[in-house]
Amino acid sequence: MRISRTLTIPETELAFTAIRAGGPGGQHVNKVSTAIQLFFDIRASSLPEPYKERLLALNDRRISADGVVVIKAVRHRSQEKNKEEARQRLRELIAAVTKEPKKRKPTRPTKAAKERRLAAKTRTAKIKGLRKPVSSND
């Protein structure tokens, strides 16, 4: 399976299981196993180490605690189309971690921004000061 021009995953690393799909469809849904579950073990894969680490660090419900990606495809009525959809979703997941995250450049607020913030705080303080009960000095 091709992820990018330089990155491919052998089909032997993907495991597919056909299961029955839920939802509407009547007797067809109850008889035929058209839904597909794709299993991809990140740790045992041939992916480069940095990509494995980024995939395992993702907070994605499709990645189990054991480091196995489980994708369930049920949209189509045919097994082959669901297999292709599951492959495509895995491709997108892996492609997302191949891009190097940008480093954050630390910045400071400008002088004008600091003045605006302080002016807003002063305005809010005045408004809140007006809410206090009036004291009578007789």
Higher pLDDT, 86 or 26: 86
pLDDT of residue 138: 56
Average pLDDT, stretch 36-48? 92
Please report how many Cα atoms fall inside a 13 Å half-sphere around the Cα of residue 131, on the Cβ side.
Answer: 5
Question: Residue 121 has what pLDDT?
Answer: 98
**Residue 2: its pLDDT value, please?**
85
Tell me the three state secondary structure of residue 32. Answer: coil
Average pLDDT, the chain: 90
- This prediction has a pTM of 0.69
Q: Does residue 73 carry a pLDDT above 90?
A: yes
Residue in 35, 37, 38, 40 with CA at minimum distance from that of residue 79: 35
DSSP state of 46: -
Distance CA 101, CA 7 (A): 18
pLDDT band at 122 (very low <50, low <70, confident <90, very high): very high
How large is the average pLDDT for residues 54-73? 91
Please compute the mean of the pLDDT values over residues 1-6 and round it to a whole number.
Answer: 84
Q: Quick count: other Cβ atoms within 10 Å of Cβ 21?
A: 22
Per-residue pLDDT reduced to its tens digit, 78-105: 899 999 999 999 999 999 888 887 899 9
pLDDT-above-70 percentage for the chain: 99
Q: Which domains does the chain have, with CATH numbers?
A: 11-98 (3.30.160.20)
